[in-house]
Chain A
Amino acid sequence: EAGVAQSPRYKIIEKRQSVAFWCNPISGHATLYWYQQILGQGPKLLIQFQNNGVVDDSQLPKDRFSAERLKGVDSTLKIQPAKLEDSAVYLCASSFIGDIQYFGAGTRLSVL
């Protein structure tokens, strides 16, 4: 069974630039999550989708972060413009509704 796919694995940008991350969840998983994991901290939920609707985006910095899941499958997380403090690993996870979350390998973002 294919797992959660994320790309790119690494990204280096300068502050004030834009960046986008892509996630392909496990087939059939209706729920998709984006987490931010800053070095030395645990993952923090940014946004949760169920199919193509947003369930929880209370911790998403909406002035610079946006996410979409237009067809209820793939998802894209964007940062525009990036700040130094956005340097982190961005993890995508998916699950059946109410079930265990499965995580991708993440995208490591460095903002210089």
Chain B
Amino acid sequence: AQSVTQLDSQVPVFEEAPVELRCNYSSSVSVYLFWYVQYPNQGLQLLLKYLSGSTLVESINGFEAEFNKSQTSFHLRKPSVHISDTAEYFCAVSDRGANNLFFGTGTRLTVIP
């Protein structure tokens, strides 16, 4: 069975400060890991993914996440946040590529001017 734990339901942070959104997973088989972002009144958008290869993955808007197998974690980080990063972030795990996604409960990131 798979599960995802997002430890922080809400994370307020000042503009231009760094942020880390935590995600831990459990799975008995190989995992594929994803971060999705949901802006208000919009659907989920893929932010970044880990399928294989390098354990550090990056998005085009400055976010990065590192797959840590020993810690069973896939934390999302950004060195300097912008107001436009305010959104809900969901971590997801799958044991079958991009199918069969199990989502965490989400972390609401609020960037304070």
The chain A residues found within 8 Å of chain B, CB to CB, are: 3-4, 31, 40-45, 48, 56, 91, 93, 95, 98-106
Residues of B within 8 A of A104 (CB): 43
CB-based nearest B residue for A43: B103
8 Å CB interface, B35-60 against A: 36, 41-46, 49
Q: Is the CB of A48 within 8 A of B99?
A: yes
Residues of A within 8 A of B73 (CB): none
Residues of B within 8 A of A40 (CB): 9, 105-106
CB-based nearest B residue for A41: B105
Residues of A within 8 A of B84 (CB): none
Residues of A within 8 A of B44 (CB): 43, 91, 93, 103
Q: Once bound together, how far apart are the Cα atoms of A93 and B46, in whole Å?
A: 12
Q: Once bound together, how far apart are the Cα atoms of A103 and B103, in whole Å?
A: 14
Given A41-B105, A42-B106, A100 and B46 contact (CB-CB distance below 8 Å): yes
B18 at the interface (CB under 8 A from A): no
Given A42-B104, A48-B99, A98-B99, A91 and B4 contact (CB-CB distance below 8 Å): no
B87 at the interface (CB under 8 A from A): no
Given A42-B4, A95-B98, A106 and B49 contact (CB-CB distance below 8 Å): no
Residues of A within 8 A of B106 (CB): 40-42
Residues of A within 8 A of B98 (CB): 95, 98-101
CB-based nearest B residue for A101: B98
Q: Once bound together, how far apart are the Cα atoms of A93 and B99, in whole Å?
A: 11
8 Å CB interface, B83-113 against A: 90, 92, 96-101, 103-106
